[in-house]
Amino acid sequence: MKITALLVLKCTGAEGSDPLILANASDLNHFGYFQRSSVREFIVFVARTVAKRTPLGQRQSVQHEEYKVHAYNTNGLCAVGFMDDHYPIRSSFSLLNQVLDEYQKAFGESWRTVQADSTQPWPYLNDALTKFQDPAEADKLMKIQRELDETKIILHKTIDSVLARGEKLDSLVEKSSDLSAASQMFYKQAKKTNQCCTIL
């Protein structure tokens, strides 16, 4: 799972005009050195195209080969993310929503007066690009689900692995004062029945 680029664009220009780039961060290390400038230009081109075609208040995903481009447009302020196909969609849009919130906290409504592409770096976007490579960071529910899965793995240990120092379950059943004679007999009978059915 990989995020290649995050962009914030202004999409409220005149009809037919291209969206303006307000912030741009990309991680192109997995591309060859001589390919990077072309890839960077392609990212800007696709981001403008997708942002321009994303209606106000809507989310949109476009797939191209093993990449997905996600866009979220809120009142003309549009966040676009380039992720690989394995990055969860819900995490993608959660990330884009966070990027838009942080942009508005940092810059307010000043983006509405921008007339040209911005070349100034926005440190938050670079940090977000690094931090949210793990989708669980963007999506709190996914993070909780991962923690539950880890707990479930621990609970799936067999009772034999829980017993200390080689104690056998059979000897514990015989020594137990909590089990009646009928319960002990049931355990022994069930164990004997299961032994004949074991597939090797």
Task: Give per-residue pLDDT as tens, 6-17.
Answer: 998 988 765 667
Is the Cβ–Cβ distance between 128 and 121 less than 8 Å? no
C-alpha pair distances (Å), 175 with each of 6, 96, 108, 148, 179: 64, 61, 72, 35, 9
Model pLDDT, residue 145: 62
Quote the DSSP letter at residue 32.
-
pLDDT for residue 56 is more than 50: yes
pLDDT score, position 166: 47
Give pairs for 38-45: CB < 8 Å, separation 24+: 43/4, 43/5, 43/7, 43/82, 44/7
In this predicted structure, what is the pLDDT of residue 150?
Answer: 59
**40 vs 1 pLDDT, higher one:** 40
pLDDT band for 2, please (50, 70, 90 cuts): confident
Q: What is the pTM of this model?
A: 0.67
Between 139 and 157, whose confidence is greater?
Answer: 139
Give pLDDT, residue 113. Answer: 84
Comparison of pLDDT for 77 and 184, the residue scoring more? 77
Whether 162 shows a pLDDT value over 70: the answer reads no
- The CA-to-CA distance between both ends of the chain, in Å, stands at 39
Query: Looking at residue 85, what is its pLDDT?
Result: 84
